[in-house]
Amino acid sequence: MYKIYNLLAVFLLTASSLFSQPCNITPRPKHIEYGTGFYYLPQKTNYSTNLKGQSGDWLRKILRQDKIQFRETFGKAPIRFRCTQNDLEAESYSLRIDASGIRIEAPSEKGLFYAWQSFLQLLPPPENGQYRLQFCHIQDAPRFSYRGMHLDVSRNFFDKNFIKKQLDVMAQYKLNRFHWHLTDGSGWRIEIPTYPELTHQSAFRPYPNWAAWYQGGRSFCSPEHPQAQGGYYSQEDINEIVQYATDRCIEIIAEIEMPGHSEAALSVYPHLACPGETTEKPNYCSGKEETFVFLENVLSHCAKLFPSSYIHIGGDEVDKTPWSKCPYCIQRMKEQNIKDPDHLQEYFINRMEGVLKKLGKKAIVWDEAIVGKLATETLVMCWRNASMGVQAVSQGQKVIMTPSEFCYLNSYQNAPPLEPLAMGGYIPLRKAYSFDPCMDMISNADKKKVLGLQACLWTEYIDTDSHAEYMLYPRLVALAECGWTDPERKSWPDFYRRALSIAESLKLSGYHSFDLRQEVEERSSADATRGNIAYNKPVHYKNKYHSKYPAAGDSSLTDGLKGGWHYGDLRWQGFLDTDIDLHIDLGVNTSISSIDTEFMQQKTQYVWLPKEVRFLLSEDGKEFRLLQSYSTNISANEERVIFNSYRWEGQATGRYIKLQALNRGIPGGWLFIDEIVVR
Ligand SMILES: [Zn+2]
Residue 440 banded pLDDT, cuts 50, 70, 90:
confident
Neighbouring-strand partners of residue 625: 617
Q: How far is the CA of 283 from the centre of ligand 1 (A)?
A: 8
For residue 189, being part of any structural domain is answered with no
Q: Given the DSSP bridges, would you call strands 398-401 and 411-412 parallel, antiparallel or unpaired?
A: unpaired
Instruction: Please determine, for residue 2, whether its predicted confidence score (pLDDT) is greater than 50.
Output: no
CB-CB neighbours of 51 under 10 Å: 17
pLDDT value at position 439? 85
Q: How many angstroms does the Cα of residue 226 sit away from the middle of ligand 1?
A: 36
Indicate if the pLDDT at residue 5 is higher than 80.
Answer: no
Residue 14: is its pLDDT beyond 60?
A: no
Which residues touch 1 (CB under 8 Å, ≥6 apart)?
A: none
First to last CA, the chain: 79
pLDDT value of residue 20: 57
CB atoms within 10 A of CB 288: 20
User: Would you say 392 and 370 are in contact if contact means Cβ atoms under 8 Å apart?
Assistant: yes
Compute the distance between CA of residue 674 and CA of residue 600 in angstroms, rounded to an integer: 8
Q: What is the mean pLDDT of residues 60-82?
A: 88
Say which range, 67-76, 111-120, 140-149, 337-346, has the weakest mean pLDDT: 67-76
* Ligand 1 centroid to residue 273 C-alpha, Å: 6
| End position of a domain, from candidates 140, 158, 190 | 140
- Taking residues 515-532, report their average pLDDT: 92
CA of 340 to the centre of ligand 1 (A): 13
Measured in Å, residue 509 CA sits from the centre of ligand 1 at 51
Residue 57 included in any domain: yes
Last residue of a domain, one of 79, 107, 140: 140
Distance 397 CA to ligand 1 centre (A): 29
**Distance of CA 221 from the midpoint of ligand 1 (Å):** 26
CA of 330 to the centre of ligand 1 (A): 7
CA-to-CA separations, 53 to 57, 113, 417, 662, in angstroms, rounded: 6, 17, 56, 73
CA of 300 from ligand 1 middle (Å) equals: 23
Mean pLDDT of 528-533: 93
**Where is average pLDDT lowest: 140-149, 179-188, 293-302, 523-532?**
523-532
| Per-residue pLDDT at 7 exceeds 90 | no
- Please give the distance, rounded to the nearest whole angstrom, from the Cα atom of residue 335 to the centre of ligand 1: 14
What local confidence, expressed as pLDDT, does residue 563 receive? 95
**Pick from 361, 115, 108, 149: which is nearest to 252 by CA?**
149
Ligand 1 centroid from CA 281, angstroms? 13
Q: What is the pLDDT of residue 89?
A: 87
Characterize 409-428 residue by residue with b for buried, 16 or more Cβ atoms within 10 angstroms of its Cβ, and e for exposed.
Answer: bbbbbbbbeebebbbbbbbb
Confidence band of 86 (pLDDT split at 50, 70, 90): confident
CA of 111 to the centre of ligand 1 (A): 49
Assess whether pLDDT exceeds 80 at residue 215. Answer: yes
Q: Are strands 229-230 and 251-255 parallel, antiparallel or unpaired?
A: unpaired
Distance from residue 265's CA to the centre of ligand 1 (Å): 15
- Cα-to-centroid distance, 365 and ligand 1 (Å): 21
Q: How far is the CA of 284 from the centre of ligand 1 (A)?
A: 7
State phi, psi for 349 to the nearest 5 degrees.
-65, -45
Distance, CA 324 to ligand 1 centroid (Å)? Answer: 8
Average pLDDT of span 476-497: 97
Question: Quick check: 652 and 507 in contact, CB under 8 A?
Answer: no
Which domain CATH number covers 79? 3.30.379.10
**Is residue 583 exposed (0-12), middle (13-18) or buried (19+ Cβ within 10 Å)?**
buried
Q: Could you report the per-residue pLDDT of 184-210, keeping only the tens digit for each? A: 999 999 999 999 999 999 999 999 999
Q: How many CB atoms lie within 10 A of CB 270?
A: 11
Cα of 79 from ligand 1 centre, angstroms: 62
CA of 187 to the centre of ligand 1 (A): 22
- pLDDT for residue 527: 87
pLDDT (0 to 100) of residue 88: 85
- pLDDT classification of 19: cutoffs 50, 70, 90: very low
Ligand 1 centroid to Cα of residue 327, in Å, is 7
- Cα-to-centroid distance, 293 and ligand 1 (Å): 15
Mean pLDDT of 389-394: 95
Q: What is the pLDDT of residue 166?
A: 98
- Domain extent, residue 45, equals 31-140
Write down which residue in 140, 170, 186 finishes a domain.
Answer: 140
Query: Residue 579, exposed/middle/buried by CB under 10 A (0-12, 13-18, 19+)?
Result: middle
In the predicted structure, residue 547 carries a pLDDT above the cut 90: yes
The mean pLDDT value for 408-437 works out to 96
* 638 domain-assigned: yes
Q: Greater confidence, 420 or 282?
A: 420
- Ligand 1 center–CA 591 separation, angstroms: 67
> Ligand 1: distance of its center to the CA of 417 in Å?
44
Give domain status of residue 240, yes or no: no
Q: State residue 628's pLDDT score.
A: 96
The whole-model pTM stands at: 0.93
Distance 277 CA to ligand 1 centre (A): 9
Specify the length of the chain in residues. Answer: 679
Measured in Å, residue 261 CA sits from the centre of ligand 1 at 15
Residue 362 Cα to ligand 1 midpoint, Å, equals 26
pLDDT number for residue 533: 96
Nearest to 304 by CA among 205, 405, 194: 194
- Cα-to-centroid distance, 380 and ligand 1 (Å): 25
In a domain, 158, yes or no: no
Q: How many CA atoms lie less than 13 Å away from 578 in the CB half-sphere? A: 13
- CA 326 – ligand 1 centroid, Å: 5
Virtual CA dihedral for 413, 524, 487, 468, nearest 10 degrees? 0
CA–CA distance from 20 to each of 33, 249, 678 (Å)? Answer: 9, 31, 50
CATH of the domain at 585: 2.60.120.1190
Going from the Cα of 180 to the center of ligand 1, the distance in angstroms, rounded, reads 28
- Tell me how far the alpha carbon of residue 271 lies from the centroid of ligand 1, in angstroms: 10
Least confident of 62-76, 238-252, 442-456, 555-569: 62-76
| CA of 272 relative to ligand 1 center, distance in Å | 8
Q: How far is the CA of 323 from the centre of ligand 1 (A)?
A: 5
Ligand 1 centroid, distance to 352 Cα (angstroms)? 16
Per the CB < 8 A criterion, the answer to whether 653 and 618 are in contact is no
Degrees, nearest 5: CA angle 610-614-616: 155
Asked, for residue 311, whether it belongs to a domain, the answer is: no
CA of 317 to the centre of ligand 1 (A): 17
Q: Is the pLDDT of residue 237 over 60?
A: yes
Positive or negative: CA dihedral 68, 74, 80, 82: positive
Does residue 16 register a pLDDT over 50?
Answer: no
Q: Residue 294 C-alpha to ligand 1 middle, in angstroms?
A: 15
Residue 497 lies in a domain: no
Residue 188 CA to ligand 1 center (angstroms) comes to: 22
pLDDT at position 279:
66
Q: Is residue 165 part of a domain?
A: no
Cα 632 to middle of ligand 1, angstroms: 46
Half-sphere exposure of 650 (CA within 13 A, CB side): 11
The domain tally of the chain equals: 2
CA–centroid distance, 297 to ligand 1, in Å, is 20
> 329 CA distance to ligand 1 centroid (A)?
4
Query: Given pLDDT bands bounded at 50, 70 and 90, which one contains residue 274?
Result: very high
Q: What is the mean pLDDT of the chain?
A: 94
Query: Is residue 210 a contact partner of residue 604, using CB atoms and an 8 Å limit?
Result: no
211 CA distance to ligand 1 middle (Å): 29
